[in-house]
Amino acid sequence: MATIEELNKLYAQAKYREVIDAVENKNLDSKILEDEKKLLIKGWGHHQLGEYDKSTPIMEELRQRHEPSSQIGESAREGLAQGLLQWKGDLNDADKVMQEIPPSPRRDNARMNYFLQGARKGLKVPAGEVLSTITKNLSSVPYATINGHIINNGTLALHEARNQEGAKPYLALLPSLIFMAIGIYEATGAAKNHIAEAEFRASQICEAAGWKKNARICAETSVKLWRELVASQDGVRYQRNLEEAEAQLKKLTQ
């Protein structure tokens, strides 16, 4: 069976299907910490592929066995909360899980995604809290990829809530913030799909801000990256993302 180091390397390369295959049908022992870490990374592999019906049961299983203060317990709770938000849009259950996570970047990331999904449902977003969390992570040097996720998701939450009075004072900041998230992704060697998605979001944010040239450049970059991903393993997973980016680019070049 692959080692944790080998699985982490595959995961960092966005080879999520290989991560899953390397652990699938292996006899993992819940009493062995190394095996629990392998199950966790398998769960995150399913999550990254959008297979939330497979990732959330794994995260719930690990949640039951590990305290929220432990590395596995904290990560599993974040994965469960994120999965519930992405799969079912279940804000209530996701919030309950998030409350178990100690103050940490993982909790911040789950909360930013929570506010993002809430904004899309028309719920009020606490813009001041979102910006405060973004600012905290901008000063969290040296950066890790999760800081990019927090800034990325928080910025998009404010963009989605742009018609809310509380968010309006911060809208002029959004293009710069999303570019900061992209810079952190690039500096920390984040997987290509994270950068491609952030570039797509940057295009939408720049378009809303009236930065037409920047919006077009970001859309072009996103299309290029998504095309590379579609041509790689699990390409079908990214086809919809490519189509959305192509539609955005077409709109901006008409």
Q: What residue ranges of the chain have pLDDT lower than 70?
A: 233-234
pLDDT at 136: 96
Angle at 230 between CA 86 and CA 39, to 5 degrees: 50
pLDDT at 233: 66
What is the Cα–Cα distance from 101 to 91, expressed in whole angstroms?
A: 16
pLDDT at 86: 86
Residue 5 to residues 15, 41, 183, Cα–Cα distance (Å): 14, 11, 26
pLDDT at 25: 82
What is the Cα–Cα distance from 174 to 178, expressed in whole angstroms?
A: 6
pLDDT at 153: 97
pLDDT at 223: 98
> CA nearest 243: which of 221, 227, 232?
227
pLDDT at 138: 96
pLDDT at 232: 84
Q: Is the C-alpha dihedral spanning 33, 37, 39, 43 positive or negative? A: positive
Angle at 76 between CA 70 and CA 81, to 5 degrees: 125
Half-sphere exposure of 9 (CA within 13 A, CB side): 6
Residue 163: exposed, middle, or buried by beta-carbon count in 10 A (0-12, 13-18, 19+)?
exposed
pLDDT at 254: 85
